[in-house]
Amino acid sequence: MFKKIFKFLLVIFSVGVISGCSNSSAATQTKSSTNKITVVYQLKNNKKTFATKKVKLAKHSTVLKGLKKAWPVQQKKGFVTQIDHRSQKPKQSKYWLYTVNGKQVNKGAASQKLTNHDKVVFDLQVAK
């Protein structure tokens, strides 16, 4: 009789330990996913798309951080001068301009913060 009670208690204890562990890992997974955002980056040359990437970043990341994660980038004073080995051409007034969610941004990529599901488009185009 004592062996049956002992086995029963052992099974109950084991189930409790296993379910306790699984709940904490689920909570940890949910917490870590809420600290990340997903941003879509698109590169264009004169409005023609040549590359697109989806990038996972920490919350409150900047446009420049995500861009650097996706492609080789050169920048000066927070402004992008080269992406994926394609450089601006100041003599032709061709510069990397970018939009976030379809809206032109008038500050450097190092300053512009992102939120989840933003779409960033960099276009190497003639500045007007």
Domain coordinates of the chain in residue numbers? 1-34, 36-126
Q: Looking at the domain 36-126, which fold is it?
A: Ferric Hydroxamate Uptake Protein; Chain A, domain 1 (2.170.130)
CA 90 to chain CA centroid, Å, is 30
Three-state secondary structure call for residue 73:
strand
Quote the distance between the C-alpha of residue 92 and its chain's center: 32
Instruction: Specify the residue for token string 């996913």.
Output: 33
Over 60: is that where the pLDDT of 118 sits? Answer: yes
Binned at pLDDT 50, 70 and 90, residue 55 comes out as: very high
For the question of whether the overall pTM of this predicted structure is more than 0.85, the answer is: no
Location of structure tokens 């960099």: 122
Distance, CA of 9 to CA of 44 (rounded, Å): 65
Q: For residue 25, what are the contacts with CB-CB under 8 A and spacing of at least 6?
A: none
For the cut 70, the answer to whether the pLDDT of residue 111 exceeds it is yes
Q: Residues 64-92: pLDDT tens digits?
A: 999 999 999 998 876 799 999 999 999 99
- Dig out the tokens for 82 from the structure: 């080269």
6-22 pLDDT, tens digit per residue, is: 565 555 766 655 655 55
Q: What is the DSSP string of 83-105?
A: ETTEE-BGGGTEEEEEEETTEE-
